[in-house]
Amino acid sequence: MFDHDAAYKSMFSIPRAVEDLLREFIDEEWVEKLDFSTLEQINGSFVTDRWRRKMTDTVWKVRLADQELYICLLVEFQSTIDSTMALRVASYVTQLYLDLCKDPKRQLLTESGKLPPVLPIVLYNGAPRWSAPLELDELIEAGPGKLPDFRPHMRYMLLDQGAFQEQDLHGLENVVADIFRLENADNPEAGRRVIRGLKRYLAAPEHEGLRQVLKDWITRVLIPSKFPQLDWPAAQLDEISDLQGVEAMMTNKMDLWAEEFVKKGEARGEARGEAKMLRSLLQHRYGQLPDWVENRLACATSEQLDGWAKQVFSASSVEEVFSH
């Protein structure tokens, strides 16, 4: 099953997406010293079974000046905020270090004889804005005397994608920025504009894998959940081969949707006119109308209004009109 979990894991298993994330969303001078040609994904997962349903992970290694840096990207899929995330991240990073120590083939230590640096990034896509502590020691009671000195310290970097507004992403021609734009899009047209941009700057042959992963995510996860009004037919999923096909189908669906919207609007307009005429007849025949009659008229279809109108001159009361 290609769900949100699998989609994000696939997208961030491609170097271009990881590079775009680090270049534009990590505001640190050392990012300029990263050699992105050395990006290498590390096999395996370090998320424990207990938390696997709530998050997925990808781990990358990249050269930073004269040492290696490990990037742990943890994607959080919960709709509610986990106040213990700092503890989960600490457990994750510890498992990574233990795994590195088990492999005698790895050049584990830095020139100074220490473990390599790790950057844990939590990418959160839930609706409420993130409010949990970013630092592990904030979860631990300080205690008296020198006990606070013995609390473990570890911090993670948070990317709360719902907190990014368009002004924050303005001018960024960036895969991660466009993923955020699509997740935050409030209508199909906004989504189509983002897809058009992705199609343009990912046109080179070397981006084929990323284009395919984005296409699968957009068609199988994003559009069905975010834009159900487009009535995306599951049977046509396999017929769409690329982002160009996604844009074309969205255009076609939006045109059909717009036509249907206009037709419904015209029908509502006719019904409102009929309701106005029926209201005048009812008031002339029965006097002041009760609220429940006004409510029935406001929600009625043309067929219902026509049926009630036929009863006006034969019914002895307004209640009898609406009893048929």
Q: Choose one of 128, 153, 184: the last residue of a domain.
A: 184
Domain with 307, as residue range(s), is: 267-321
Are the beta carbons of 93 and 116 closer than 8 angstroms? Answer: no
Q: Are residues 133 and 282 in the same domain?
A: no
pLDDT at residue number 262: 44
Closest CA to 92 of 68, 121, 63: 121
Domain match, 177 and 54 both: yes
Residue 160 lies in a domain: yes
The arithmetic mean of pLDDT across residues 94-101, rounded, is 84
pLDDT of residue 254: 62
With a pLDDT cut of 90, the percent of the chain lying above it is 33
Mean per-residue pLDDT, 256-265: 50
Instruction: Please check whether residue 258 lies inside any domain of the structure.
Output: no
Q: Do 23 and 132 share a domain, yes or no?
A: yes
Q: Can you tell me the mean pLDDT for 1-24?
A: 85
pLDDT at 257 over 60: no
Q: Which of 184, 215, 230 is the last residue of a domain?
A: 184
Question: pLDDT category, 232, cuts 50, 70, 90?
Answer: low
Are 324 and 292 in contact by the 8 Å Cβ rule? The answer is no
Q: What residue has token string 């205690």?
A: 143
Tell me what pLDDT residue 178 has: 95
Same domain for 160 and 298, yes or no, is no
- 142 and 11 inside one domain: yes
pLDDT at 48 over 90: no
Residues 176, 273, single domain; the answer is no
Q: Does 160 lie in the same domain as 61?
A: yes
Q: Does any domain span residue 125?
A: yes
**Is residue 45 located within the same domain as residue 163?**
yes
Question: Is residue 131 over pLDDT 50?
Answer: yes
Q: Is the pLDDT of residue 94 over 70?
A: yes
Using the CB atoms, write b or e for 210-244: b if 16+ within 10 Å: bbebbbbbbbbbbbeebbeebebeeeeeeebeebe
Is pTM beyond 0.75? Reply is no
Q: Which of 140-154, 180-194, 260-274: highest mean pLDDT?
A: 140-154
Alpha-carbon gap, residue 279 to 322, rounded angstroms: 13
The residue among 231 and 309 whose pLDDT is bigger is 309
- Assigned domain for 101 exists: yes
- Phi/psi for 52 (5° steps) reads -65, -30
Asked, for residue 232, whether it belongs to a domain, the answer is no
Q: Rounded to a whole number, what is the largest CA-CA distance in the chain?
A: 99
Work out the average pLDDT over 246-266. Answer: 61
Q: Which residue has the tokens 């990006």?
A: 39
Instruction: Note the pLDDT of residue 306.
Output: 77
Indicate if 174 and 283 belong to the same structural domain. no
pLDDT at 45: 59
> H or E segment at 59?
strand 55-64
pLDDT tens column, 275-323: 777 787 787 677 888 888 888 887 777 778 778 877 776 677 888 888 8
Give the mean model confidence (pLDDT) for residues 86-114: 79
CB–CB of 126/81 below 8 Å?
A: yes
Would residue 140 count as lying in a domain? Answer: yes
Say how many domains are in the chain: 2
Confidence bin at 255 (pLDDT 50/70/90): low
Evaluate whether residue 161 is within a structural domain: yes
313: in domain: yes
Which of these three, 120, 152, 184, is where a domain ends? Answer: 184
Mapped onto helix, strand or coil, the DSSP state of residue 159 is strand
